[in-house]
Amino acid sequence: MLDADLANLYGVTTKRLNEQVKRNIDRFPDTFMFQLSRSEFDKLKSQFATSSWGGRRKLPNAFTEHGVVMLASVLNSPTAVSASIEVVKAFVRLRQILASNVELARKLEILEKKYDAQFKVVFDAIRQLMTPPEKEKRQIGFRAEK
């Protein structure tokens, strides 16, 4: 996303957003943020049919997913603070889910050791249910039937 769009989303000016990025530049490696080149910006301008006068004086910054989340932590608007809190809550929930799966796997292993081979099929089925399914890769596009 572009800096101007994110500034609007987080409720700050583009100038303020870019100031905070400059002050915290070590938090924005190339995989989080990059500046559009002149040719990229010109192509973007022509897509939006903007006038050649006025507008931006500097090339815009573009942010990846990681950069968008990092911006929430360096900006101080109510929206940015709220977004930052939600990210932390999501990571805590994810850790709890992962911990519960680890605990379930440990209990299953104890039960498996306790009972003999007749329950092996049941344990294998439970273990298979615990592993996330692999995404099926299907072909896209038109296929003529023969």
pLDDT for the residue numbered 104: 79
Decide if 71 contacts 10 (C-beta within 8 A).
yes
Distance, CA of 67 to CA of 32 (rounded, Å): 4
How would you label 8-31 residue by residue, b for 16+ Cβ within 10 Å and e otherwise?
ebbebebeebbebbeeeeebbeee
Domain spans of the chain, in order of start: 3-76, 93-130
DSSP 15: H
pLDDT for the residue numbered 53: 45
pLDDT for the residue numbered 57: 75
pLDDT for the residue numbered 135: 67
Number of other residues whose CB lies within 10 A of the CB of residue 32: 17
Mean pLDDT by 10 residues, the chain (146 residues): 91 93 93 90 66 67 91 90 86 80 79 70 73 67 62
Decide if 11 contacts 77 (C-beta within 8 A).
yes
